[in-house]
Amino acid sequence: MHIAIIGNGVSGITAARHIRKGSDHQITVISEEADYFFSRTALLYAYMGHLRPRDLRPYEDWFWEKNRIGLLRARVEAVDFDLKTLLLSGGKTLLYDKLILAAGSQPNKFGWPGQDLDGVHGLYHWQDLEAMERHSAGLERAVIVGGGLIGIEMAEMFHTRHIPVTFLVRETSFWNIVLPAEESAMINRHIAEHGIDLRLETELREIVSDDKGKCRAVITSTGETIECGFVGLTAGVHPNVAFLKNTALEINRGILVDAYLETNLSGVYAIGDCAELRQPPPGRRPIEAVWYAGRRMGETVAQTVCGQPTRYDPGIWFNSAKFFDIEYQVYGDVQVRLPEHCASVYWEHPDGKKSIRLVYERASGRVLGFNLMGIRYRQDVCEQWLRTATPVGQVLEQLGLANFDPEFFPQHEQELVGAYNRQTGNKILLKQKRGLPAVLRFLR
């Protein structure tokens, strides 16, 4: 059996690796973007000089041949689902028995005038990074549009090259559609601390061209003109499905898949950024364009393809990021606007760069989510509390179990417990400090 996988990002490659583990199927992974799998989330480190491009590859180049995973550098122009054939760039074709679509995303463009000018780029593909590099020499200012994870990464990238950055954010505070107000304000301060020209509540109206078709300036929603040699468009992504339109494949925003990640066509699966769950689990979005979801979908679909039909279980929501120097982790459900039946307890370090937030249900007290800034928490421990609906009081007593900061780092669990006690009038005592032995006892 020949399994063709379109896309060599984390979802496609994870699927390939696990199919190899569980079967002897022939596997071909097709990518237009790059010869080898690389960590998309690490693109910024190559630009900043922390890593060489080749360091982004999680596997040495001999790995693929050794594991009989065929890699094909080509663009898939179209798919003939009836004949089970891929039409590739250069006129070649490829027959498959089962097809896994892992084609990823494309950066959003919302019809801004000038959005296709030279010097206007998103940051998703390897080629976007090359474009950033090309435009960096002699660049006097970059304007970044879109207040999310990629936008702030781009700001950090240019900043390390001493290129001034203006950062246009539509919302009233950075990423406040995901981060609660306090955490969002923390990042606003941190962005400014790094000398980034952060413009909140400011949108892009137009990108102005010079006489050679290259961007020269942007005009903002406040009417201001900002001269710049580069515009970063980082207002989110959408599934990369254009090449599949007008086929028998059912597509909404993404490729629609059932609980087994199978599309409406038998033997055709979609995973990662390009997949849209027909029936997402309660509280989850139908498209979750994050590394972790892609990896998990890849593991899941591999089981199904290897003859062990497996439903996609996204698990308990978690995510992480790093905003300049401040790390961020979230476990469970931390909503920006808390529903009436939920409450949250929040502690922030006086230096304004660390915080812990714990969300719980008022009536039952069960803990619902953890939000960490500048502090590391253990995923296993947090998940266990979330999965077993542990009451907030008990979680607070044991909170040290979750602390994953390196040795000698100060522990702030006591402060959070204090904040909770002041807020509720309870008298919870922190009984457990950080340390692996207690964690092992707890998880057993």
Partner 1 sequence: MDHASLSIATPAPVLTTGKQKAGLVLAGAGLLLVLVTWAAGQAVAPVPTLLAALSLCTAGVALFIREEYLTRPAGIQNNGAWFRSLSARGVWGWLTGVLITGFYVCLYWFPGYLTGLTQLFDPLSRLLRNTAADQWFVYGTLYTAAVLLMGVKFFYKYRHNPYQRWRTVSVMFFQLGFAFLIPGLLLRLQYPELYFTYFWPLSYYQGTPMAHAGYSGSGLGVFFFFFGLAMFFIGAPVLTYFFGKRWYCSWVCGCGGLAETAGDPFRHLSDKRLRAWKIERWMIHGVLVFAVLMTALLWVNVATGRGVLQAYSQFFYKSYSFLVGSAFSGVVGVGFYPLLGSRVWCRFGCPMAAWLGIWQRAKSKFRITVNGGQCISCGNCSTYCEMGIDVRAYAQKGQDVVRASCVGCGICSAVCPRGVLRLEGAEADMAQRTELQRAILFPSVPA
Residues in 176-235 at the binding interface with partner 1, rule: CB under 8 A: 190, 193-194
Q: Which residues neighbour 72 within 8 Å (Cβ) at sequence distance 6 or greater?
A: 28, 29, 30, 31, 88, 94
Q: Which member of 97, 380, 387, 431 binds partner 1 (CB under 8 A)?
A: 380
Sign of CA dihedral 297, 58, 108, 7: negative
Q: Between 22 and 365, name the residue whose CB sits nearer to partner 1.
A: 22
Q: Which of 163, 168, 230 is nearest to 205 (CA)?
A: 168
Both tokens assigned to 216: 């020269």
Q: Which member of 5, 6, 10, 207 binds partner 1 (CB under 8 A)?
A: 10
Shortest Å, Cβ 44 to partner 1: 9
Shortest Å, Cβ 380 to partner 1: 5
Q: Which member of 18, 121, 216, 357 binds partner 1 (CB under 8 A)?
A: 18
Shortest Å, Cβ 222 to partner 1: 29
Strands 367-373 and 355-361: antiparallel
How many residues touch partner 1 under the rule CB under 8 A: the total is: 79
Distance CA 387, CA 367 (A): 9
Sign of CA dihedral 381, 387, 390, 392: positive
- Which parts of 338-367 interact with partner 1 (CB under 8 A)? none
Is 410 near partner 1 (CB under 8 A)? yes
Question: E strands, 236-340, where?
Answer: 237-239, 255-257, 268-270, 275-277, 318-323, 326-332
Distance CA 165, CA 34 (A): 29
Residue bearing tokens 């593991």:
299
Q: Which stretch binds partner 1 (CB under 8 A): 89-97, 110-118, 332-340, 404-412?
A: 404-412
Is 137 near partner 1 (CB under 8 A)? yes
Shortest Å, Cβ 350 to partner 1: 15
Q: Which residues neighbour 339 within 8 Å (Cβ) at sequence distance 6 or greater?
A: none
Is 379 near partner 1 (CB under 8 A)? yes
Q: Between 190 and 357, name the residue whose CB sits nearer to partner 1.
A: 190
Residue spans of alpha helices (H) in 338-443 = 379-387, 392-397, 413-424, 436-443
Shortest Å, Cβ 163 to partner 1: 10
- Which parts of 115-134 interact with partner 1 (CB under 8 A)? 126, 129-130, 133-134
Q: Between 84 and 357, name the residue whose CB sits nearer to partner 1.
A: 357
Shortest Å, Cβ 190 to partner 1: 7
Q: Which member of 32, 276, 288, 299 binds partner 1 (CB under 8 A)?
A: 299
Shortest Å, Cβ 340 to partner 1: 31
Residue 71 CB coordination number (10 Å): 19
Q: Which stretch binds partner 1 (CB under 8 A): 87-95, 144-152, 238-246, 308-316?
A: 308-316
- The contact mask relative to partner 1 for 38-77 (x = CB under 8 A, - = no) is xx-xx--xxxxxxxxxxxxxx-x-----------------
Shortest Å, Cβ 186 to partner 1: 13
- The contact mask relative to partner 1 for 19-38 (x = CB under 8 A, - = no) is --x------------xxx-x
- Which parts of 278-297 interact with partner 1 (CB under 8 A)? 291-292, 295-296
Shortest Å, Cβ 358 to partner 1: 17
Distance CA 254, CA 267 (A): 18
What's the order of all strands across the beta sheet hosting 69-73? 69-73, 26-31, 2-6, 98-101, 268-270
Distance CA 251, CA 272 (A): 14
Question: E strands, 18-97, where?
Answer: 26-31, 69-73, 76-80, 85-88, 93-95
